[in-house]
Amino acid sequence: MSHSLTHGRYEPIQSRQNPRLKDLRNRFLKTGGAEDRLIAVEGMKLVQEAARSGLRMHSIFVREGTEVPSLKQLGADLYEDSPYPAPLRFLVARDAFDHVCATSSPQGIAALLERPQWSLEELLQADRPLLLILAGLQDPGNTGTVIRTAEAFGATGILLTPGTVHPWNQKVLRASAGSSFRVPVVQMEKTDMLESLRKKKIPLYACAAQDGCTAEDVDFRRSAALVIGNEGAGIPDDVLPWCSGTIHIRCPGPVESLNAAVAASILLYEASQQRERKLAKGGSAP
């Protein structure tokens, strides 16, 4: 039996072999998303964040026994004034839903949505770009946390070098808590795309445990790009030549290095504070 809502109905799905469920499962398993740009997300938080970020939601799947959310609860009522049609909605048998989802304890709601897409040219059009370059960072939890922190502290975009975890990895999405839908993230096919930053006179700072200048010594009021490497292997050899300087965070404690996401957070906080102080004085950054 379909469940009526103000703006439509939920169609029942009972079988794991249903084509829509098989497609949803394949998209959960496919890290990079398909050519049609549709990706799968699971959990109320991500579904709401996607809708509120203005992304086109193709379809919504709710597990039997889960409270059927209204479009307003989902944030999908925003589609009433958008060029997108209202999403398709399905009520799925419990065992079929749990089989499809990527998490061990599904929250009872999943969706197919159209992921955002950005270009390097768009990132470089920002006023005084503040960029993060994740170079070979493979831990999805760290990568998602960096994306979330980038939004919190006003970074204008993130570049991923070859070998870095895919931005639409399910664990990356969950760790970003929705920031992946709003922070411009660009995957670089090859590292010589960094030439575009050099042409824009954007300095790249390789983040190290101890070498180079301290974070406080860098003038973040200007354009800057921070290169964060893999915690174990460091910054790849094909990325280092593009860096114009090295930066580290002063640590009074006897630790060898910081977690990559923690280091990125501290550096972005310093950058945001410098920019806020300049604006508070009534000046404009050079």
pLDDT the model gives residue 33: 56
**Residue 4 in tokens:** 């009526």
Q: Of 79, 114, 149, which closes a domain?
A: 114
Q: How far is CA 233 from the centre of its chain?
A: 23
Identity of the amino acid at 175: A
User: For position 254, what pLDDT does the model report?
Assistant: 80
**Do 190 and 271 belong together in one domain?**
yes
Give residue 280's pLDDT band: very low, low, confident or very high (50, 70, 90).
Answer: low
Residues 192-218: tens digit of each pLDDT: 999 999 999 999 999 988 878 899 999
Q: Residue 271: is its pLDDT beyond 60? A: yes
The secondary structure of residue 87, as a DSSP letter, is P
Residue 209 lies in domain: 120-280
Sign of the alpha-carbon dihedral angle for 245, 251, 255, 258:
negative
Residue 82 CB neighbour total at 10 angstroms: 11
Where residue 148 falls among pLDDT bands split at 50, 70, 90? very high
Where is pLDDT greater, at 40 or 254?
40
CA distance linking residue 88 with residue 128, whole number of Å: 41
Tell me how far apart the alpha carbons of residues 4 and 14 are, in angstroms, rounded to a whole number.
18
Check pLDDT > 50 for residue 1.
no
Mean pLDDT of 254-280: 88
pLDDT of residue 106: 86
The total number of structural domains that make up the chain = 2
Residue 161 covered by a domain: yes
Same domain, 148 and 276: yes
Q: What CATH number is attached to the domain comprising 187? A: 3.40.1280.10
Q: Using 50, 70 and 90 to split pLDDT, how confident is the model at 70?
A: low
Query: Following CA atoms 41, 44, 47, 48 in sequence, which dihedral angle do they give, to the nearest 10 degrees?
Result: -160
Residue ending a domain, among 63, 98, 114, is 114
Residue 5 has pLDDT above 50, yes or no: no
- In tens, the pLDDT along 92-133 reads 999 999 999 867 788 899 999 999 999 999 999 999 999 999
Structural domain includes residue 286: no
Confidence of residue 285 (pLDDT cuts 50, 70, 90): very low
Cβ contact 196:124 at 8 Å: yes
pLDDT at 88: 87
Cα gap 101→188, rounded to integer Å: 29
Average pLDDT of every residue of the chain = 86
Q: In this predicted model, what pLDDT tens digit does every residue of 173-198 receive, in sequence order?
A: 999 999 999 999 999 999 999 999 99
Gap between the Cα atoms of 268 and 249, Å rounded: 11
pTM of the model: 0.88
Read off the CATH number of the domain in which 92 is found: 3.30.1330.30
Give the pLDDT confidence score for residue 103 in this predicted structure: 76
How would residue 52 be classed by pLDDT, with cut points 50, 70 and 90? confident
Co-location of 202 and 82 in the same domain? no
3-class DSSP assignment, residue 9: strand
- Asked if residue 235 and residue 126 are part of one domain, the reply reads yes
pLDDT of residue 110: 94
Give per-residue pLDDT as tens, 202-258: 999 999 888 788 999 999 999 999 999 987 778 999 999 999 999 999 888 887 778
Q: Which of 32-46, 84-98, 138-152 has maximum average pLDDT?
A: 138-152
Is residue 19 in some structural domain?
yes
